[in-house]
């Protein structure tokens, strides 16, 4: 039995977020932007919602079938895919791959985080503490190899020690916060979006306390986020169609309306190795991959996703190949090569 420990920390410290928004320039039109090369691989398991691809050390790209209860990998060189079954009702939502090639996934509908050793086929589960974090959502590796995760329905964020199986859970103080996207900054501190509110939150990983940051607009609903090398925290406002930036050092915000307008529904998001932001407008058909250059404060790239997308819900940047990876509701896995 894997040992478990539970800590619920309710200490929440409000951070100052009183700086005024920076006036935003008009968004660029598609005619003014550079297109990006996007390749998509159809997934053979129909309507299984393949999502959240992650590049493993051996170059294979792992992804989950949220509606198909599977983990699978793609070989981008050959197009081959192979599926590994999960127990019925797992509802895998997200995965990440560690340096040893072990695949960690969020058992969103079955209250666990699990892992697969592809070499042996061994599959293990780490159960969530009773009544806490029952719907693990998005996973990310921390500074020391720990795994941080959000739990949207449980209104919580958690930490898993892969070596011991210890799970510690922290409740988010704001009611209906719906913790969603999660990233780790340069100091190893996790940041997350509270999709049910107009807030971000930062975890103090040493004290296991959480501080919330209120966004300037009450109607904002941040869904995904990214941190750039200068430690600015970027987010997409899914509800109103904005790209936003928060500077933790000064408390200042800046926001830009996205090219697709108020109904663009910006969703999957990542930062590249040049500090540029990429996100997908999921409210337009087809979905569009959009690039933003913070230095020039302009949207420099808009590329339609050929399959239509349906909704691109999550996206990761792979530095060695300078590629963005994403899954689509059109049942494809996509790769974009950034300029």
pLDDT score, position 21? 55
Domain count for the chain: 1
pLDDT at residue 56 is higher than 80: yes
**Long-range CB contact pairs, 131-135, < 8 A, 24+:** 132/6, 132/8, 132/156, 132/158, 132/169, 133/158, 133/167, 133/169, 135/108, 135/109, 135/111
pLDDT score, position 22? 52
pLDDT score, position 3? 39
Report if residue 109 sits inside a domain: yes
Whole-prediction pTM: 0.92
pLDDT at residue 314 is higher than 90: yes
pLDDT in tens, 123-137: 999 999 999 999 999
Mean pLDDT across the chain, nearest whole number? 93
Report if residue 192 sits inside a domain: yes
Q: Tell me: cis bond preceding 286? Omega within 30 of 0 counts.
A: yes
Which residues, in sequence order, are CB contacts of 120 under 8 Å at separation 6+? Answer: none
Cα–Cα distance for residue pair 16/38, rounded to 1 Å: 40
Report if residue 172 sits inside a domain: yes
pLDDT in tens, 144-162: 999 999 999 999 999 999 9
pLDDT in tens, 163-208: 999 999 999 999 999 999 999 999 999 999 999 999 999 999 999 9
Report if residue 296 sits inside a domain: no
Is the CA virtual torsion 103, 104, 108, 110 positive or negative?
A: positive
pLDDT score, position 28? 74
Report helix, strand and coil shares of the chain as percent, to nearest 5.
0, 45, 50
Cα–Cα distance for residue pair 51/334, rounded to 1 Å: 10
Q: Where residue 331 falls among pLDDT bands split at 50, 70, 90?
A: very high
Show the domain range for 266.
12-31+50-279
Report if residue 308 sits inside a domain: no
pLDDT at residue 97 is higher than 60: yes
Could you tell me the CATH number of the domain that includes residue 165? 2.130.10.10
Report if residue 246 sits inside a domain: yes
pLDDT in tens, 6-15: 333 333 333 4
């Amino acid at each position: 039995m894997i040992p478990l420990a539970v800590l619920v920390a309710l200490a929440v410290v409000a951070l100052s977020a009183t700086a005024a928004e920076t006036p935003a320039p008009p968004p660029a039109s598609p005619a003014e932007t550079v297109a990006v090369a996007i390749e998509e691989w159809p997934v053979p398991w129909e309507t299984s919602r393949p999502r959240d691809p992650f590049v493993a050390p051996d170059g294979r790209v792992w992804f989950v079938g949220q509606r198909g209860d599977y983990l699978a990998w793609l070989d981008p060189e050959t197009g081959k895919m192979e599926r590994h079954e999960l127990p019925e009702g797992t509802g895998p939502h997200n995965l990440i791959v560690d340096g040893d090639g072990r695949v960690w996934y969020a058992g969103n509908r079955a209250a666990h985080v699990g892992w697969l050793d592809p070499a042996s086929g061994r599959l293990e589960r780490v159960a969530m503490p009773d009544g806490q974090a029952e719907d693990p959502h998005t996973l990310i590796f921390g500074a020391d190899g720990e795994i941080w995760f959000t739990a949207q329905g449980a209104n919580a964020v958690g930490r898993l020690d892969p070596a011991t199986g210890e799970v510690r859970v922290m409740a988010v103080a704001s009611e209906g916060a719906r913790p969603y996207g999660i990233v780790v900054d340069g100091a190893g501190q996790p940041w997350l979006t509270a999709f049910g509110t107009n807030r971000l939150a930062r975890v103090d990983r040493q004290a296991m306390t959480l501080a919330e940051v209120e966004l300037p607009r009450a109607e904002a609903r941040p869904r995904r986020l990214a941190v750039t090398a200068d430690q600015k925290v970027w987010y997409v406002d899914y509800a109103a169609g904005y790209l936003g930036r928060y500077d933790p050092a000064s408390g200042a915000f800046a926001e830009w309306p996205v090219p697709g307008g108020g109904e663009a529904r910006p969703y999957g998001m990542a930062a590249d190795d040049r500090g540029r932001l990429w996100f997908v407008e999921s409210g337009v058909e087809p979905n569009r991959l959009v690039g933003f250059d913070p230095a020039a404060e302009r949207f420099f790239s808009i590329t339609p996703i050929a399959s239509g997308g349906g909704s691109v819900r999550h996206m990761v940047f792979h530095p060695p190949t300078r590629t963005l990876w994403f899954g689509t509701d059109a049942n494809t896995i996509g790769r974009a090569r950034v300029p």
